[in-house]
Amino acid sequence: MGPKAASGFYLGRKPAVLLALLLAALLLALAVLGALYGRCLQEAEELRAAAAPASPTAGPQEEGAGCCPPTPSPGSTRPPGVWDEPRLPRALLPLHYELRLWPRVSPGQPGPFVFCGQVNITVRCAQDTATVLLHSSELELWGAAVRGPLLEGPGGGAGGSVEVAELWLDERQEYAVLELRRSLRAGGRYVLQLSFRGPLSEDLDGLFLTRYTDQGQSSMLIASQLEPTYARTVYPCFDEPAMKATFNIIIVHHPSYVALSNMPAIDTSEMKDENGSLWTVTTFNTTLKMSTYLTALVVCDFDYITRTERGNEIRIWGRKEAIKNGHADYALNITGPLFSFLEDLFNISYPLSKTDLVALPDFAAGAMENWGLMTFQESTLMYIPRDQFGSKKAMICLIVSHEIGHQWFGNLVTMNWWNDLWLNEGFASYFEYIGASYVEPRLPLNKFFYYHMLQPVLREDKEIAARSLSAREEKINGTFSLVGLFDIFTYSKGASIVWMLSSFLTERLFIKALSSYLKAFSFSSVNQDDLWTHIQMVVDAQNEVHLPASVKKIMDSWTCQNGFPVLTLNLSTGIISQKQFYNKRTENNTTYNYTWIVPISWIRNGSAQPLVWLDKSSKMFPEMQISDSEHDWILLNVNMVGYYRVNYDPLHLKRLAQVLEKDPKAIPVVNRLHLIDDAFTLAQAGYIEIEYAFELTKYLAKEDEMFVWYSVLSNLIPDNLENILNNYELYPFLKKYLLKRMLPIYHYYASIIRQNVDTLADDYFDQIHFEKFINTACWLGLQDCLNLSSELYTKWMENPDHEIPFIIKRTICCYGVAMGSDKEWDFAWKMYNHHNSTGIDKDIMLFAMSCTRESWLLYRYLQYSLNNSLLSSDNISIVISNVAATEIGQRIAWEFVTENWLLLNERHRNGILQKLLGVMENFVNTDLQIQELQLFYNTTLDKDLQIATTETLQFAKFANKERRKLIARFTDWLRKNIDD
């Protein structure tokens, strides 16, 4: 499953008064809805009682378990007991679920919507107990019964029943508690029976309903998303990942819909409710043993395309118009080969006979790996054939590969508890790149992994808030804390640690160990020590790879500590030392004294050297001492397989700069990028002087990899500083210095753009990075770049079918408008409003219209944002931000916001307040502007917001001061090196 972003807001006093009035109105509305909801629930239960076929395990209903069952009593006043613990006791272990679900939804039906159902859970009693705990949240429960102990042998009928004295709910721990008249006996098997019902919301978690449009018609579908702990909102269950069981699932649904679940459907029948309405009953085959969070269902009116791969029927489901237009073809073409590739790699067959991949029009999780029924947000699965290769196609390939990787890591073998979630997500994230590079060889694995996984998490894993990959089980409890685990550390750091592990073990031993691990724990659950044990077994059985410590000791140093090391290398002595890397803003707060066991791959003068290990805070490596010759050099962390940064001593950093100037190819491309990125990062954090980073850019006239250019330009000219830098003395020096180095590669790509841009389709990084390069060339005033923009934009104006290449459309439209007049601006406005414009097209045109150099056009544009018939209110902060980010628009945007603040505040209230405040902080470039903004805050905002904004402004003031210092140093360096 993909990570979710967190958001929040701060409420002032005046808005709070309004909120109170709104709450009063809401309570009244809820009372009315409650009456309707109760009526709907009563009707649902009457239909269930009338229409449900007899269950072979159904027991007698308790008194009051009819259409209006008594609400179980709350547990808030209960004495202390096992229900106070955040984890389920292990007195009962689930073996099998008989689950029947009935979402009460018909096409065109108005809400509110409900679902109801029954569940019979066969359990084995591990120790005597008179208290049964199940997870249940947001459900009404009734009809609780316990049958058993079951007779052993074929048939396994009930040998009796155990009376339920009381059913009550503990909302804090989300438990349903069954108090029994007598104890269940250890060793016996019992069946727990419960009926339930709950609201079918549109929240996109649990069992939810979502609306969409297909072939011009409004439609609805029902789907589930149960990870991490939403299964308990759909049916009472043992909702912990280690408590696996098999499932028989029955779905009752409207006949116009098709029902999908984890397993193939084995029977469909019909039934009528008491009103004579017809319903379809779909029964599915028994699942494999699996965790509750993997149970899944979709009830929809979709079409599909299919193919079979090694006995696995693969179906891609989606909106009918998307299937008809071929949008699912790419996903179908790669899914089978990905399954086969991983089957062969692990020597473990995929155990299911069918796999459905469903494209949901609205799905907050992004994608979910449910066994046999994977679900995706539509844009992450559907590929429009007319799109060029590039980021969209690669994204689909990555996401599909990730979810297929989960079929082994997560579904077949699952972590015991969420504290080891990285065993699921880290490995799935690693193999998504291995799989994607297999089915799309045009995606270079090393560059691809470094850019998307390793580099981003290295930038994040330096704050005090950073956490370790694995933690003690007792530290991770509650849905809120569990959802927070689906973050960049679990995914990207987890994958990066696996990347490093596979490198020092060698791929052969790594895959051999994983195959042993997966086979040993199939249909079971593990913690990370189980993985280390199986890797150790493989290491001990060979003589190729020798480790300095046990696998557990090595890997625990990476998974049980937060952060990562920076290695400092002194090449005159050969001493390498390590310390935790930190951001200078948190320097005084860092009290850790971590040591990692670090695998160091390295090359000397371009030749690979044997792997060495740094297993203490400091260690001498005599083989790394170098001579005074400029031809003698060393580079650590070859191809960036290690999760650390390297701080070379200043003399050697200069020597590496000379190597780059003489022959850039002597250093692998990933290391060229990483060398530069490390230098700028270390300089920002105070480890080295910034001038050493600048030295590494001198060679760029010989750099032909857009992959590297993007990183250099992002460090030298961040997007949010373009309108600032051209106001400093720095700009003319930077222009001369960079254009001199950019021209060779610029002319190469410009000729391709003019002749046949499709030739770039085979290079992923050209597709995603060239935009930054050409934007910089135009920003620096390169005349050919400006001419190219006008040329392509004019051709588009003359013939709207003559599309601008998408990979540079944002820049070309911006400078096409900038170099033109109101004619060019009006065309951009026309294309923004064109009926065929996609969301991305509209975003590009919103940006382009802010690029005009005519002040009156910018003012008119801002005025348009006040008119909801011209621009959606959701776009007002985007328009203001885009205008404020331009050189001439900064002051215009500031005046517009201050002059129209009362109107903006009245119309949008808190919904836009935070966005506007964030936009206005972009105006802050000088201390005078800080004072001006502070005065505005003091006269317009409530006192509580004034405090928060004052703190933000103080940080902006500090950042502005530091920026001026850096710009001065950069200017001085450029002045001295401009002709080099």
Which residues are identified as catalytic?
403, 491
377 close to 360: Cβ distance less than 8 angstroms: yes
Closest CA to 515 of 334, 337, 349, 335: 349
d(CA 240, CA 232): 10
- C-alpha torsion 765→771→774→777, nearest 10: -110
Contact partners, residue 367, CB within 8 Å, separation at least 6: 1, 2, 374, 375, 376, 377, 380, 381, 399, 402, 403
- Mapped onto helix, strand or coil, the DSSP state of residue 604 is strand
The token pair at 950 is 């004052």
Residue 651: CB atoms within 10 A of its CB come to: 12
737 close to 730: Cβ distance less than 8 angstroms: no
Closest CA to 489 of 522, 460, 463: 460
d(CA 14, CA 18): 7
The token pair at 620 is 């001498």
- Mapped onto helix, strand or coil, the DSSP state of residue 497 is helix
Task: Report the first-to-last Cα separation within the chain, whole angstroms.
Answer: 50
d(CA 305, CA 332): 8
Closest CA to 304 of 287, 285, 319: 319
357 close to 313: Cβ distance less than 8 angstroms: no
280 close to 295: Cβ distance less than 8 angstroms: no
428 close to 402: Cβ distance less than 8 angstroms: yes
Q: Is 903 exposed, middle or buried (0-12, 13-18, 19+ CB in 10 A)?
A: exposed
Contact partners, residue 601, CB within 8 Å, separation at least 6: 503, 504, 608, 611, 636, 637, 638, 639, 641, 642
Contact partners, residue 444, CB within 8 Å, separation at least 6: 437, 764, 765
3-state secondary structure 94-136: EEEEEEEEEECCCCCCCCCCEEEEEEEEEEEECCCEEEEEEEC
d(CA 375, CA 253): 19
d(CA 965, CA 506): 46
The token pair at 72 is 């179980």
d(CA 640, CA 707): 15
C-alpha Rg value of the chain to the nearest Å: 31
Q: Provide φ and ψ at 85, rounded to 5°.
A: -80, 145
- C-alpha torsion 658→664→670→672, nearest 10: 30
Q: Is 519 exposed, middle or buried (0-12, 13-18, 19+ CB in 10 A)?
A: middle
3-state secondary structure 302-359: CEEEEEEECCEEEEEEECHHHHHCCCCHHHHHHHHHHHHHHHHHHCCCCCCCEEEEEE
190 close to 146: Cβ distance less than 8 angstroms: yes
Tell me 492's DSSP state: I
Closest CA to 455 of 400, 484, 420, 495: 495
724 close to 925: Cβ distance less than 8 angstroms: yes
Supply the angle between the helices 730-755 and 706-716 in degrees, to the nearest 10.
Answer: 150
